Structure 1
Amino acid sequence: MIVCVCRRVSDREIARHAHAGMSFDEIQFELGVATQCGRCEQCARDVVSQCCASGPVAALHNESAPKTIQLANSITESKAWNSSLHSQAA
């Protein structure tokens, strides 16, 4: 799902960077997320928080460690998700 429409940044891109150990500020600098209109900032922060809460997924310096990617369970569970369509469906 596209989180930042201005910069066309998806939740998967944000999650990939967060799982690589980057902070929100580093992700913001790298991808440009939440640097234009700012409407996506809380949603982007929620994606980063969910990734950090699940812990590191792959050991970056250990080549023998299994490498997997775990994305957020559901972006609709985020407090930032406040779409009128989502509200009507619930």
Structure 2
Amino acid sequence: MIVCVCRRVSDREIARHAHAGMSFDEIQFELGVATQCGRCESCARDVVAQCSASGAVALIQNATQPIQLANNILESKAWPSSAFCSAA
């Protein structure tokens, strides 16, 4: 789903950067998300927060046993529906 229409940035792109350990500010600088009209900022921050939260859980689980990562962000049961992000 496209989160930032102005810069054409998807939730998958944001999630990929967040899973790589980047903060919202770093992602904003790298991708340009929420730098024009700003209407996407809350949704983009939510995506980063969800990825950061699930990343912390993965690290804890990974310390005791290996986990299988989803191939697609939509396959992850930890990822809530993105429908709330489109209501701006």
Normalising by the residue count of structure 2, what TM-score does the alignment of the two structures yield? 0.72
Q: CA RMSD in A?
A: 2.3
| Distance in 2 separating the partners of 1:49 and 1:6 | 22
Paired positions, count: 75
Query: Of the candidates 67, 71, 87, which is equivalent to residue 82 of structure 1?
Result: 87
Alignment of 1:1-90 (within 5 A): 1-55=1-55, 68=69, 71=73, 72-76=79-83, 78=84, 80-82=85-87
Listed as ranges, the gaps of 5+ residues in structure 2 are: 60-65, 74-78
Structure 1 residue ranges, 4+ long, deviating more than 3 angstroms after superposition: 65-70
Question: Identity across aligned pairs (percent)?
Answer: 71
Q: Which has the higher helix share?
A: 2
Structure 1 residues 32 and 67 mapped into 2: Cα distance closer, same or farther (>3 Å)?
Answer: farther
**SS of corresponding position for 2:27:** helix
Normalising by the residue count of structure 1, what TM-score does the alignment of the two structures yield? 0.70
Larger radius of gyration between Structure 1 and Structure 2: 1
